[in-house]
Amino acid sequence: MKFLINFGIVLLLLASLAVWVMLPWYAVAAIAVALLLWLFLTKRGQQTLAVAGVGIAGLPQRWGASSVIVIGIAGVVGVLVAMLAMGEGFQNTLKQTGGKDTAIILRGGSQAETNSVIARDQVPLISSLAGIAKDAGGRAQVSAELSQVINLPTVSDGSDANAQLRGVGQEAWKLRPNVKIVQGRKFGAGLRELIAGQGAAKQFRGLEVGKQIELANQQWTVVGVFAAGDSHDSELWADGEVLASTYQRSSFQSVTVKLAGKDGFKQLKSAMAGDPRLKLDVQTTSDYYAKQSEGLTKLIKILGTVIGTIMAIGAVFGALNTMYAAVAGRAREIATLRALGFRGLPVVVAVMLETMLLALLGGLLGAAVAWLIFNGYQVSTLGNNFSQVVFQFKVSPELLWTGLKWALGIGLVGGLFPALRAARLPVTTALRAA
């Protein structure tokens, strides 16, 4: 019978945890307020406060054991937040790239720039389509571009990694006003010069302004560094025509266009579908880049959650261990309270509060460490275009909040069974043990 009761408690606990993890902040706030009201306004609540006060006052005396809970939970929260911050950072970098007012055109079915081929004679056809904005001179704002993957040595260990070299013309700058030169100057038209995104400049060797690198048996001079605040920071840019001749490319890979007003995208899409000579795909640049991040972001988040879960299980056992020891050490004290007339409930809640307090401290510590170390931490990974994407970890308030909820969840589980045991201790047995 006792087993069945415990089993029921475990099931209820698992269900509670599932709900808890998904609770939004205001629901948690409501629970906290309700708890505070109960503590201060009811007799049982006041008894609980008294017992909890005694327990908390005794914490310094048991600092060794208490710190196990705090640091164990800090470890879980730190790792969890760091992993999720990685996924969030990658996603954020790509989501910031592109916008609703520009569209990217790729060959039908190609999925990514690297896979796409757009013939040169298709570019004028694209320029004449409806839905594309025109500049002051009446010309369609269209940028046909090359995307070449090149090998460059990395700063960290000198091994080759894939970098993306984008071949562009003057139109590219108009379509991406956020791209600014932060050092040096733009490359000259028709010259073997290039500029590096600030992320790429930190990632690869030899990209300082004034340096030369060899690409396809030709010497290219780095004449500037640009900043875009998005995934273009991972790229190198050069004159499209020079790049095409160097790599013997007779086609472009993508065409980026400025959309005309609110309905521009719809007009463009239907105009393109109506022209059998253009078997091309079109989507807004923000949609295109957001899609690029989906697979890897999901993978990182799943991985982080699995690892966090296993660590949380370990931390729960640690907390249980410590709290059982604490309850055992205070058996006589608890029995005395029971003998004096305190009911089981105040004792249960008091032990729970003590554990949750330690868990909260652990969560705060873990979150703080994760934020200090990982927020803004720069790394890179292969993206969908087969080249390096430089991005920074992003420890957002939402992630910190998630970490705290995990911490409190561990505290809940770690404290419940010792608390129940405290409440169930037969008074006479505990007293006799003195």
Partner 1 sequence: MKYLHLIWAALFRSKTRTLLTLLSVVAAFLLFGMLDSVRVAFNSGGSVAGADRLVVASRLSITQMLPYNLLTRIEAQPGVKKAAYAAWFGGIYRDPKNFFPNFSVSPNYLDLFPEYKVPPEQVKAWLNDRQGAIVGAALAKRHGWKVGDTIPLQATIFPTKGSNDWPLKLRAIFEVADSKRKGEENMLLFHWKYFDESNDYVKSQVGWYTVKLDDVNQASRVAKEIDKLSENSDHETKTQTEQAFNQSFAKQFADIGLIVSAIMGAVFFTLLLLTGNTMAQAVRERIPELAVLKTIGFSDRSVLGLVLTESILLIVIGGCIGLGIAAVIMPGVSAASGGVIQLPTVLPQTWALGVGLMVAIGIAVGLLPALRGMRLKIVDALAGR
| DSSP string of 298-361, one letter each residue | HHHHHHHHHHHHHHHHHHHHHHHHHHHHHHHHTHHHHHHHHHHT--HHHHHHHHHHHHHHHHHH
Indicate the DSSP class of residue 247. T
Member of 42, 128, 151, 429 binding partner 1 (CB under 8 A):
151
* Angle, CA of 301, 305 and 309, to the nearest 5°: 175
Query: Which window, 12-20, 173-181, 315-323, 331-339, contacts partner 1 (CB under 8 A)?
Result: 315-323
Q: What is the distance between the alpha carbons of residues 7 and 384, in angstroms, rounded to a whole number?
A: 47
Other beta carbons less than 10 A from residue 393's beta carbon: 25
- Does position 130 interact with partner 1 (CB under 8 A)? The reply is no
Indicate the DSSP class of residue 425. S
CB of 258 closer than 8 Å to CB of 345: no
- Does position 247 interact with partner 1 (CB under 8 A)? The reply is yes
CB of 96 or CB of 322, closer to partner 1: 322
Going from the C-alpha of 355 to that of each of 8, 16, 39, 320, 352, the distances in angstroms are 22, 17, 17, 9, 5
CB of 320 or CB of 412, closer to partner 1: 320
Query: Which window, 153-161, 168-176, 186-194, 232-240, contacts partner 1 (CB under 8 A)?
Result: 153-161
Member of 10, 53, 61, 109 binding partner 1 (CB under 8 A):
109
- Closest approach, Cβ 294 to partner 1, in A, equals 10
- Does position 310 interact with partner 1 (CB under 8 A)? The reply is yes
- Closest approach, Cβ 413 to partner 1, in A, equals 12
Name the nearest CA neighbour of 421 among 337, 289, 298, 326. Answer: 326
Member of 59, 386, 401, 431 binding partner 1 (CB under 8 A):
386
- Closest approach, Cβ 340 to partner 1, in A, equals 27
CB of 80 or CB of 260, closer to partner 1: 80
Q: What is the distance between the alpha carbons of residues 328 and 38, in angstroms, rounded to a whole number?
A: 28
- Closest approach, Cβ 344 to partner 1, in A, equals 20
Radius of gyration of the chain (CA): 31
Identify any residues that bridge with 389 across adjacent strands, giving them in sequence order.
Answer: 381
CB of 131 or CB of 308, closer to partner 1: 308
Q: What is the distance between the alpha carbons of residues 330 and 339, in angstroms, rounded to a whole number?
A: 14
Residue 332, judged by CB atoms within 10 A of its CB (0-12, 13-18, 19+), counts as middle
CB of 38 or CB of 386, closer to partner 1: 386
Contacts of 217 (CB under 8 A, 6+ apart): none
Position of tokens 């320029």?
127
Q: What is the distance between the alpha carbons of residues 431 and 434, in angstroms, rounded to a whole number?
A: 6
CA dihedral of 374, 375, 381, 387, whole degrees rounded to 10: -150
CB of 197 closer than 8 Å to CB of 227: yes
- Does position 110 interact with partner 1 (CB under 8 A)? The reply is yes
- Does position 216 interact with partner 1 (CB under 8 A)? The reply is yes
- Does position 46 interact with partner 1 (CB under 8 A)? The reply is no
Query: Which window, 20-28, 96-104, 157-165, 179-187, contacts partner 1 (CB under 8 A)?
Result: 157-165
Query: Which window, 149-157, 191-199, 336-344, 403-411, contacts partner 1 (CB under 8 A)?
Result: 149-157
Q: What is the distance between the alpha carbons of residues 120 and 16, in angstroms, rounded to a whole number?
A: 61
- Closest approach, Cβ 245 to partner 1, in A, equals 11
- Does position 150 interact with partner 1 (CB under 8 A)? The reply is yes
Member of 13, 49, 56, 67 binding partner 1 (CB under 8 A):
67
CB of 243 closer than 8 Å to CB of 165: yes
Member of 48, 52, 55, 72 binding partner 1 (CB under 8 A):
72
- Does position 318 interact with partner 1 (CB under 8 A)? The reply is yes
- Does position 267 interact with partner 1 (CB under 8 A)? The reply is no
- Closest approach, Cβ 304 to partner 1, in A, equals 10
Considering only residues 397-426, where is the footprint of partner 1 by CB under 8 A?
Answer: none
- Does position 79 interact with partner 1 (CB under 8 A)? The reply is yes
- Closest approach, Cβ 152 to partner 1, in A, equals 10
- Does position 305 interact with partner 1 (CB under 8 A)? The reply is no
CB of 187 or CB of 204, closer to partner 1: 204
**Given the rule CB under 8 A, which residues bind partner 1?**
64-65, 67-68, 71-72, 75-76, 78-79, 82, 86, 107-112, 114-117, 148-151, 159-162, 215-217, 247-248, 279, 300, 307, 310-311, 313-315, 317-318, 320-322, 324-325, 379-382, 386, 388
